[in-house]
């Protein structure tokens, strides 16, 4: 990444953290970063494009910090201890990024942002699960989603305290404390039925995607994404015809709900289209 591009990202992060996304102008960003507006547009087409770049930049930065320990031949618990310590430290070093994410008006939920946030959330859960599996083995296997969610809760809660009082805790002691609590959780879950199974969580993520799509995203965007998905499928002729009819109906001044419902039913049975189908049904208040 070029220095000017990095300067723009870091300047924008500070402004978004204090003012929010909507209240920050491109002029303010270029003034803060010390570059011209013309230089800004050489790197980013818009504020939305800059926001995506910010999220990807910091998520990639955090992932690289964690991946550095994957190359070392360490016992699983020691490796995870070092990674959690690095995660806390990295977050504190870039607390403006955390504050930006916590500000409701800082991140507009356009389609690309929604998909990125959902994907990164899922990846974080998988990372926690893989680490817990390596440490605890078979006895944790049925409860990995529950354990990952509880561990995430521990991390996020203490992270908030650290943001306000970074000198109030020693991070290495905090990480050790958290892992001992996870030890207790693993022992206490013996004989319990898992609440968050793989199937339930995947269904929740799918519904979340549908919810995000249906709230704040126009139908044209959803259908465009759906069309792209359909064209990647084999034996898609019938699906293409149904989508053409559906698209034409949504473009009418008064769409006929019965027609929309009928076309949506034609997409059932193709899992890759479920999120789009559910989002459209939610938008038009169609019962499936």
Tell me the domains of the chain and their CATH numbers. 3-188 (1.10.357.10), 215-283 (no CATH)
pLDDT at residue 85 above 90?
yes
What average pLDDT does this structure show over 89-105?
Answer: 76
Structure tokens at 24: 């920050």
pLDDT at residue 216 above 50?
no
pLDDT at residue 39 above 80?
yes
Cα distance between residue 282 and residue 261, in whole Å:
11
Q: For all residues of the chain together, what is the average pLDDT?
A: 85
pLDDT at residue 115 above 80?
no
Name the pTM for this structure. 0.65
Query: In this predicted model, what pLDDT tens digit does every residue of 156-177 receive, in sequence order?
Result: 999 989 988 888 889 999 999 9
CA angle, residues 226, 230, 233, in degrees to nearest 5: 150
Residue 288 is predicted with a pLDDT of 63
What average pLDDT does this structure show over 21-30?
Answer: 88
Cα distance between residue 228 and residue 50, in whole Å:
25
Query: In this predicted model, what pLDDT tens digit does every residue of 181-213 receive, in sequence order?
Result: 999 999 999 889 999 877 777 777 666 655 555
Residue 209 is predicted with a pLDDT of 58
Q: Which helix (H) or strand (E) holds 132?
A: helix 111-136
Residue 24 is predicted with a pLDDT of 86
Residue 212 is predicted with a pLDDT of 53
Cα distance between residue 80 and residue 61, in whole Å:
18
What average pLDDT does this structure show over 28-53?
Answer: 90
Cα distance between residue 67 and residue 56, in whole Å:
16
Query: In this predicted model, what pLDDT tens digit does every residue of 232-287 receive, in sequence order?
Result: 888 889 999 999 999 999 888 788 888 999 999 999 988 888 888 888 888 787 87
How would you label 47-58 residue by residue, b for 16+ Cβ within 10 Å and e otherwise? beebbebbbebb
What average pLDDT does this structure show over 73-98?
Answer: 91
Residue 186 is predicted with a pLDDT of 95
């Amino acid at each position: 990444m070029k220095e000017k591009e990095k300067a723009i990202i870091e300047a924008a992060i500070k402004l978004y953290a204090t003012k929010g996304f909507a209240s920050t102008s491109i002029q303010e960003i270029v003034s803060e970063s010390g570059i011209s507006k013309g230089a800004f547009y050489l790197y980013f087409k818009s504020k939305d494009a800059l926001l995506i770049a910010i999220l990807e930049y910091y998520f990639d930065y955090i992932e690289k910090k964690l991946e550095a320990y994957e190359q070392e031949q360490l016992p699983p618990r020691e490796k995870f201890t070092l990674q959690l310590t690095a995660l806390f430290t990295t977050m504190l070093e870039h607390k403006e990024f955390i504050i930006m994410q916590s500000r409701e008006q800082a991140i507009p939920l356009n389609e690309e942002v929604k998909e990125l946030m959902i994907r990164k959330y899922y990846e974080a859960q998988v990372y926690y699960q893989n680490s817990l599996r390596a440490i605890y083995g078979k006895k944790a296997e049925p409860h990995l989603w529950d354990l990952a969610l509880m561990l995430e809760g521990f991390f996020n809660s203490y992270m908030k305290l650290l943001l306000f009082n970074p000198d109030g805790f020693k991070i290495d002691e905090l990480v050790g404390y958290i892992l001992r609590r996870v030890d207790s959780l693993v022992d206490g879950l013996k004989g319990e039925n898992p609440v968050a199974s793989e199937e339930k969580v995947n269904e929740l993520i799918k519904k979340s995607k549908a919810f995000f799509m249906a709230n704040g995203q126009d139908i044209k965007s959803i259908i465009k994404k759906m069309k792209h998905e359909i064209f990647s499928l084999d034996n898609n002729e019938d699906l293409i015809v149904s989508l053409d009819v559906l698209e034409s109906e949504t473009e009418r001044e008064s769409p006929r709900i019965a027609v929309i419902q009928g076309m949506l039913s034609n997409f059932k049975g193709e899992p890759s289209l479920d999120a789009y189908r559910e989002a459209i049904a939610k938008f038009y208040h169609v019962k499936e």
